[in-house]
Amino acid sequence: MTFTLPPEAVHWRDKARDFVDRELKPYEVEAEMNDGRIPEAARKAHEKACIAMGVTVMDVPKERGGLALPILTQTAIVEQFGRVTNALGWCYGEAQGWMFEAFNEDQIARIVMPVTRGEIHLCYAITEENAGSDPGNIATTARRQGDTYTITGEKWHVTSHNLASHMVVQAKLADGPHAGEHCLFVCPADAKGVTIARSPAYAHNYNHHHPILRFDDVAVPARDRIGAEGDGMGFTHSWFRRERLLIAARCCGAMARLIEDATDFAKNRIVSGSAIADHQMIQAMLADSVLDLHAARLLTYEAAAAHDRGENLKSLHARCSIAKLFASEAAFRVADRAVQIFGGRGYMRENVAERFLREVRVDRIWEGTSEIQRLIIARSLIKRGLEGTIGPN
């Protein structure tokens, strides 16, 4: 099977590639050596350029002033951002399609659209110490008293909380007709009662921290509940589909970068009088990496195109899992081979392969671990059969 991107997707891909190569890549080593930080003026310029380019509204409906780009085009764009460290690639916030179904008009005006202008930065507080792969088991509660909910609990790994103005929080309703069901809320990142219990260091060096947050009787007005009581889990499913697809896309970008850089190095590195690219053991590592990228890209583009064709939602869910599972595992294999090809240089923090080896590892964990993706795929197969899982042949 071959897959040709339509001209519009090629145009956007090239535009994103140019921005990433010209504006982001030059800061990679500086970011790596400074815990992900670059000069504030440069960070702001990157965000501004992304807003001007339109990537913050690529998933926003046209009637809201967005671009509503096909998912395949969005995937091709995000793939290019995957060519650099997330410390730089995460330089913009975007309003996602599901938000326009979940948030009401008032919230779209106050929260969602300002995200596209860089005025509001969101983070997501779902995971807990005892609820990760099984978000249904969260213990954080929301208790309603009149027009206010009181949120109590603890959230883990809240990515970008240090840079966020607002957070989306998932809690279980403590009482009322929907007691025990889930609900999403949006509240200021520094709302009264929110404290940082701890901000641990992680394997990557991003200026996006992932703290553990305590919520002690945090008051959230009912107008900041997202959707109806009990809607929480439904919304998280639709953002999981998008996030998994885009993780797969970023992994494809990382693989392409690694293969290109490792190939260049192998052609120019002379050992015992010949280029290491002439050795078949090196060629095998490069060939296996091309295979991994090509397969991951086909799976990712095809799952994205299936969204644009409006295929069955349940099948799309499984196909996003297939793309994320394969691409994230493939990216780690490719990064590991690239380190080997670079030899000692591949173990230096200034080297792209060393950085990606640490960075892509988490793609097998967040937004559902590889094991959870396998369960989703297997359950889909058992319930809906092969065609219902990977689509008609």
Ligand X SMILES: Cc1cc2nc3c(=O)[nH]c(=O)nc-3n(C[C@H](O)[C@H](O)[C@H](O)COP(=O)(O)OP(=O)(O)OC[C@H]3O[C@@H](n4cnc5c(N)ncnc54)[C@H](O)[C@@H]3O)c2cc1C
Chain residues binding ligand X by CB under 6 A are 124-127, 132-133, 157-159, 202, 210, 362, 365-369, 371-372, 375
State the nearest-atom distance from the C-beta of 129 to ligand X, in Å: 8
From CA 214, how far away is CA 212, in angstroms rounded?
A: 7
Nearer residue to ligand X within complex by CB, 220 or 362: 362
Which C-beta is closer to ligand X: that of 15 or that of 358? 358
Closest contact distance (angstroms) between CB of 367 and ligand X is: 6
Position of minimal CB gap to ligand X: 132
Between CA 258 and CA 238 the distance in angstroms is: 31
Q: Decide: 210 and 265 in contact? Cβ < 8 Å.
A: no
H or E segment to which residue 171 belongs = strand 166-173
Closest CB 364 distance from ligand X, rounded Å? 9
Q: Which residues pair with 166 in a beta bridge?
A: 122, 188
> Could you give the CA distance from residue 195 to residue 303 in angstroms, rounded to a whole number?
40
Burial category of 137 from C-beta neighbours within 10 Å (exposed 0-12, middle 13-18, buried 19 and up): exposed
Cα(345)–Cα(128) distance, rounded to whole angstroms? 38
CB of 175 to ligand X, least distance (A): 24
Of 28, 32, 23, give the one whose Cα is nearest residue 50: 23
- How many CA atoms are closer than 13 Å to the CA of 310, on its beta-carbon side? 0
100 or 202: CB nearest ligand X: 202
* Cα distance between residue 301 and residue 78, in whole Å: 12
Q: By C-beta, is 245 or 259 nearer to ligand X? A: 245
Cβ-based nearer residue to ligand X, 8 or 371: 371
Give least dist CB 213 to ligand X, A. Answer: 10
Contact indicator for 166, 121 with CB cutoff of 8 Å: yes
Distances (CA, A) of 346 to 83, 179, 309, 349, 388: 17, 53, 42, 8, 43
Minimum CB separation of residue 232 from ligand X in Å reads 12
Closer residue to ligand X (CB): 100 or 366: 366
Q: Select 9 or 327, whichever has its Cβ closest to ligand X.
A: 327
CA distance 124 to 243: 12
Angle at CA of residue 58, ends 127 and 209, nearest 5°: 30
Query: What whole-number distance in Å separates Cα of residue 116 and Cα of residue 118?
Result: 6
Please answer whether residues 325 and 378 qualify as being in contact, where contact means their C-beta atoms are separated by less than 8 angstroms. Answer: no
Shortest distance (Å) from residue 370 CB to ligand X:
7
Least separation, in Å, of the C-beta of 143 and ligand X?
A: 21
Q: Of 159 and 289, which CB lies nearer to ligand X in the complex structure?
A: 159
Q: Which is nearer to ligand X, 135 or 230 (CB)?
A: 135
Which two three-digit tokens encode residue 72?
């395949």
Between 278 and 371, CB nearer to ligand X: 371
Number of residues written out for the chain = 393
Residues 284, 289: Cα–Cα separation, whole Å: 8
Q: How far is the CB of 127 from ligand X (least distance, A)?
A: 3
Minimum CB separation of residue 252 from ligand X in Å reads 20
- Nearest of 115, 113, 213 to residue 170 by alpha carbon: 213
